[in-house]
Amino acid sequence: MGVHMKLLTVARIWPKYKGVYESREGPIRKLNKEKFRTIHIYISKRSDNPNQFEQSGQKVYYLLKGRGARMFNVLVLWRLIRILKKEDVNILHCHKHKSVVYAFLASFFVRPLVVIAHVHGINRTRNWRRRLLNRFVFKRVHKIFTVGQATAEDVLVSNSGLDKSLVYSLGNSITFKRYDRLPSEKGNARENLKLPEDAIVFGTVSRLTTVKGLDYLVEAFVKVKKNLDSAVLVIVGEGTVMPELKKQVLDAGIAKSVLFLGYRTDVPLILGTFDCFVIPSIGEEGLPRALIEAMAARIPVIGTRISGIPEILDDGKYGLLVPPRNSDALAVAMIDITQKPSSEIEQITQVARQRVLDEYSHENIAGKLEKIYTELAIAQGIICQYYLISYPKSGRTWLRLMIGKFFQIHYNLKIRKNKHLLRPDLLYRRSKEIPSLQVEHYPNSETTWKNDMEELQQLLNCYRGTKVIFLVRDPRDVVVSHYFQETRRPKKDPCKYFKGTLSEFVRNKYYGVDVILKFCNLWASRREVPEDFLLVRYEDLQKNTVAELNRVINFFGINNILTVEIEQAVQFAAFDNMQKLEKNGVMKSSMLRPADVNDLNSYKTRKGKVEGFYDDLTKVDIEFLNDRLSKKMDPFFGYEFSMDDGKIKDENMAGSADSVG
């Protein structure tokens, strides 16, 4: 039934395990499991907290026990290489600089391997040693992800000469539904924190460090308090400057109006108490998740015009922006927020929330990851860019032979084995100029009849980012040809031959017309999933082979196509020549070999005829098929199902195929 598209194994590597973070876990869980398998590697383990990846059945590796070493460790490299080979890893997605260095070295021993560096903040290239090391390391890195555009610009500035196309602003993400609070919850949350119902609550969620600018927030709040006696400030988080902030609050005489909550796990609930969220950073902000979370919770926001904050707020479209280190401007903005009409606040927060849904959801980030993973895997020859898909016995071998022969002629390839012409994926290895093409039946007939349409539609998501040539043939011809495939063609296990009649085969739930219909209609309904989709009908290919093959070759984006090359490929794969090649065993391939050279029905190249079904089906069978197909087959394929009585053979003659066991 053909080999399905390669399942890509993505290994995520971190320097240390300190617990699973939502921003990392969410997008990974949203990746299409039909296309991507994820494993997790940690250089060291620094937490006994349960690993959710491990609990969900994903493979997790720890290269060292305990804290590990700051310096390079050859044992870590050796273990990493062993895991990458054992798990057949295709993509190594590295978090933090140490992971990237080990990946750089491992890439010399594991090929092909896509290496991705993921930068999570500003000013990560701290000194000349790291910049010098990056000049070597980045030569084997295929993409650098950043959490935002400000981080991307910082990476480019810090690493002079770095190819701009190497850097991609991936963004950040949150679990959106966690912030779907009900209006009634706000009062309950305030009651739990002992906040007055009529209080105007300003709040922030942050690490309490100097660069977060929280001293400016306290200064601004002192000024706000003079105008709004009911104002309260809530600070969530821990950090080195907490003692200084508490002293600042005490000295300003506002201790009763400022609440320090420390580290909390119930941030969504606490956000529900805020009337305004403030992020007063003065530097080193990549793409602050706390700001995104506040927007998702429908809270009006104020931020400083620094690093990634303006990127999230789109220069003030989704919240107020003030200069950094300016408590006067911040105080004015805080008061201004409280004086806006509720209708205006509702409008601002609604569009801000929609921006989060559109740009910062796990689904959005997972979609970006899938696209880039696929593009990089294609570029490295790990998977193919093009796929030739068909139901069995739709003329696929004929088309693939013409394509293979064209590639040989056009790219002037010397081929020692003729069977390689039937494997365009092998030809690609000879020259990267040749389009990478995989030929397959997917989903196979067993998968098709076992699953409902909704489940099957999800399976086809694995073709996102690829280009598909879909070959279709009149199902009446397909079912007859497939019957001879299952009764006469060579099989390793003779017990797998179909034992019934052609009439029974037509109606069989595993092989019959209903499975063919389901397969074709599935692809018609999901033809927008691939990046590009080309429909080729067998009947059109028979009628005007040169023109249709030319259309297929153009789909590959090949330049300077000569008509004579197309004609030579068509002539080589002509029916008589293919049958001759098969009979004489020239191709030396099981794909083109008869079970019995004296039985034409056991040939792969059996008939090659449009409406050949008239030779084998009874009138009753044709009427059954026409009724089924005219009612159920997607009109996208352009078939009309009628019956030409003049072409129907005598009932006894037509039924002769039924005697085949």
Task: List the CATH number of the domain containing 441.
Answer: 3.40.50.300
pLDDT for residue 128: 86
CA 406 from centroid of its chain's CA atoms? 32
| Same-domain pairing of 160 and 232 | no
Report which secondary-structure segment, H or E, holds 60: strand 60-62
| Same-domain pairing of 110 and 205 | no
Is residue 3 very low, low, confident or very high in pLDDT (cuts 50, 70, 90)? very low
| Same-domain pairing of 164 and 181 | no
**What phi and psi values does residue 396 have, to the nearest 5 degrees?**
-65, -40
State the average pLDDT over residues 162-166: 96
pLDDT for residue 596: 79
**What residues are paired with 115 via a beta bridge?**
92
Q: How many CA atoms lie within 13 A of 365 on its CB side?
A: 25
Q: How does DSSP assign 111-162, residue by residue?
A: SS-EEEEEE-SS----SHHHHHHHHHHGGG-SEEEESSHHHHHHHHHHSTT-
Range of the domain at 187: 176-359
Query: Per the omega criterion (within 30 degrees of 0), is the bond before 300 cis?
Result: no
Alpha-carbon gap, residue 600 to 603, rounded angstroms: 5
Task: List the CATH number of the domain containing 85.
Answer: 3.40.50.2000
Residue 23 covered by a domain: yes
| Same-domain pairing of 517 and 454 | yes
**What phi and psi values does residue 60 have, to the nearest 5 degrees?**
-130, 135
Q: Domain ends where: 143, 169, 195?
A: 169
| Same-domain pairing of 190 and 143 | no
Alpha-carbon gap, residue 606 to 656, rounded angstroms: 17
Residue 369 covered by a domain: no
| Same-domain pairing of 497 and 593 | yes
Tell whether the model's pLDDT for residue 658 goes beyond 60.
Answer: no
Token representation of residue 455: 């489940």
CB neighbour class for 456 (10 Å; exposed up to 12, middle 13-18, buried from 19): buried
Q: Domain ends where: 148, 169, 190?
A: 169
Q: Are 27 and 1 in contact (CB under 8 A)?
A: no
Q: Are 232 and 200 in contact (CB under 8 A)?
A: yes
| Same-domain pairing of 162 and 204 | no
CA 518 from centroid of its chain's CA atoms? 25
**What phi and psi values does residue 38 have, to the nearest 5 degrees?**
-115, 135
Residue 375 covered by a domain: no
Alpha-carbon gap, residue 217 to 215, rounded angstroms: 5
- Structural domains in the chain (count): 3
| Same-domain pairing of 116 and 155 | yes
Any alpha helices (H) in 272-423, and if so which ranges? 289-296, 309-313, 327-339, 342-359, 362-379, 396-410
Q: Domain ends where: 154, 169, 184?
A: 169
Tell whether the model's pLDDT for residue 563 goes beyond 50.
Answer: yes
Query: Per the omega criterion (within 30 degrees of 0), is the bond before 112 cis?
Result: yes
Residue 425 covered by a domain: yes
Q: Which value, to the nearest 10 degrees, does the dihedral of the CA atoms of residues 188, 190, 192, 195 take?
A: -150
| Same-domain pairing of 190 and 75 | no
Q: Are 119 and 155 in contact (CB under 8 A)?
A: yes
Biggest CA–CA distance in the chain, Å, is 106
Residue 372 covered by a domain: no
pLDDT for residue 477: 96
Any alpha helices (H) in 51-127, and if so which ranges? 52-55, 74-86, 97-106
Tell whether the model's pLDDT for residue 479 goes beyond 90.
Answer: yes
| Same-domain pairing of 606 and 516 | yes
Residue recorded with tokens 């400016």: 216
Tell whether the model's pLDDT for residue 313 goes beyond 70.
Answer: yes
State the average pLDDT over residues 556-565: 95
Report which secondary-structure segment, H or E, holds 541: helix 538-543
Alpha-carbon gap, residue 137 to 650, rounded angstroms: 75
Report the SS3 class of residue 234: strand
Alpha-carbon gap, residue 86 to 110, rounded angstroms: 11
pLDDT for residue 181: 66
State the average pLDDT over residues 291-304: 96
| Same-domain pairing of 575 and 645 | yes
| Same-domain pairing of 540 and 575 | yes
pLDDT in tens, 20-51: 666 678 899 999 888 899 999 999 988 788 88
State the average pLDDT over residues 396-403: 93
Residue 373 covered by a domain: no
Alpha-carbon gap, residue 410 to 565, rounded angstroms: 7
User: Residue 147: which of 2, 243, 289 has the closest Cα?
Assistant: 289
Alpha-carbon gap, residue 221 to 331, rounded angstroms: 6
